[in-house]
């Protein structure tokens, strides 16, 4: 069975939810600790949301130097699928595993709501079960989810197809070009601000933009990783 690890840092909030999402997707969830010096043989890693190390300095800046992140950085270079969710996205950006940076929301307020997304890239380990242009609904909750990059970098991301998710409807946090998630060049590392682990079970997630799979739009993100690993 595919084994997917979920890292817990001091201040992480959504690790248990991510572990549950992994299990519901059909993989074996494995808890990883921020001080771990190895990844315990997992096939993929989720860096979940929360407030790692209290978000001191800036979001993800301290977690980036946790011992487990040395292992994650090495593993991504070998092609391991890694997903960063919200604070996890911030950590991966701080570790330079993903382009751009996340800063304070342009309205200077924490936001928590159901958010529409459009899938822009399906050639990643975490989106291969989607069709380009699919619209999904995922919960989001962040205070520093404003994605920024230089105009030149934004043009590169667009030109090379590295934008994975884009906000639909109103932009919730001021992110440049409505970008909600990006990938690395290889496609094994993806980060997004909304929380797919909160949309994995009917009756407990938001209504789906697609309709029939109400509340489970996030599940396909985790299933995509399993599909990528099984087919590798």
- Which are the catalytic amino acids? 86, 195, 197
Distance separating alpha carbons of residues 63 and 103, to the nearest angstrom: 16
Mode of pairing for the β-strands spanning 3-8 and 28-33: parallel
Distance separating alpha carbons of residues 81 and 186, to the nearest angstrom: 10
**Taking the alpha carbons of 93, 209, 215, 223 in that order, is the dihedral positive or negative?**
negative
Distance separating alpha carbons of residues 38 and 226, to the nearest angstrom: 21
Cα 21 versus chain centre, distance? 13
Q: Which residues of 27-52 are buried (b: 16+ CB within 10 A; e: fewer)?
A: bebbebebebeebeebbbbbbbbbbb
Distance separating alpha carbons of residues 65 and 160, to the nearest angstrom: 29
In Å, what is the CA distance from 205 to each residue of 55, 115, 176?
27, 11, 27
């Amino acid at each position: 069975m595919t084994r997917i690890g979920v890292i817990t840092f001091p201040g992480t909030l959504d690790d248990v939810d991510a572990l549950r999402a992994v299990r519901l997707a059909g993989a074996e969830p494995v808890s990883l600790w921020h001080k771990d010096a190895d990844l315990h043989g997992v096939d993929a890693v989720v860096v979940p949301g929360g407030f790692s190390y209290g978000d001191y300095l800036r979001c993800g800046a301290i977690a980036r130097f946790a011992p487990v992140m040395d292992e994650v950085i090495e593993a991504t270079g070998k092609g391991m699928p890694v997903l960063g969710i919200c604070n996890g996205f911030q950590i991966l950006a701080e570790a330079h595993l993903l382009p751009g940076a996340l800063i304070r929301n342009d309205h200077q307020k924490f936001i928590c709501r159901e958010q529409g997304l459009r899938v822009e890239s399906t050639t990643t380990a975490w989106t291969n079960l989607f069709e380009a242009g699919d619209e999904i609904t995922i919960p989001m909750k962040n205070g520093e989810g404003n994605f920024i990059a230089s105009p030149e970098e934004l043009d590169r991301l667009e030109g090379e197809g590295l934008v994975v998710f884009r906000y639909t409807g109103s932009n919730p946090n001021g992110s440049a070009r409505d970008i909600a998630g990006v990938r690395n060049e290889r496609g094994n590392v993806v980060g997004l601000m909304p929380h797919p682990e909160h949309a994995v079970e009917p009756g407990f997630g938001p209504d789906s933009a697609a309709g029939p799979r109400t509340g489970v739009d996030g599940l396909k993100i985790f299933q995509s990783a399993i599909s990528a690993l099984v087919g590798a």
